[in-house]
Structure 1
């Protein structure tokens, strides 16, 4: 299947409460002065959030993503391109935003850390 560019329409996903809440922490270098972008096209995918300098993608998942084969394939392809993907459940953000932010900072600062899921 040929590579198709990500269109603006593909980037116009519904925003969840958790995405909004995390973006308030990540935007404008608010989190430890780290540059994050939101809804970032990478190859044929759109990452929820990305720190391109650290080659770190942060994805927020709802229950529909539990053990998703398409997420596994997507992750494998992005990993092969040198990105690490850090995944959090939406509930993680809503219940423990500080813990999520601390984890993101640790992964940006230590490129050797590998995500757990």
Structure 2
């Protein structure tokens, strides 16, 4: 009976990920294909190109403005002290970079 419970436990976990409020890249490709004269392959290439362009700009340290959506930018974080969970040991978290997103005021007002 223990073996019968394990597969049953895995199926709902997979089902939850498909029922979430997250939109997958394939769904975006379908939306682009439905709203344009592009087929799914062309829409997939277009979406991939846009995403690669955004990622490339962020890696180069540039900000990316998406009208009606917001602005993605890279911010630098300073080194800081932290605490390791479980052991309460003090550690130094190194300086790094984060991607910041600022929502457009038009979108913010319409949410």
TM-score, with length taken from structure 1 = 0.26
Which of the two has greater strand per residue?
Answer: 2
Decide which structure has the larger Cα Rg and report it: 2
Which of the two has greater helix per residue?
Answer: 2
Structure with greater contact order relative to length (CA < 8 Å, sep ≥ 6) = 1
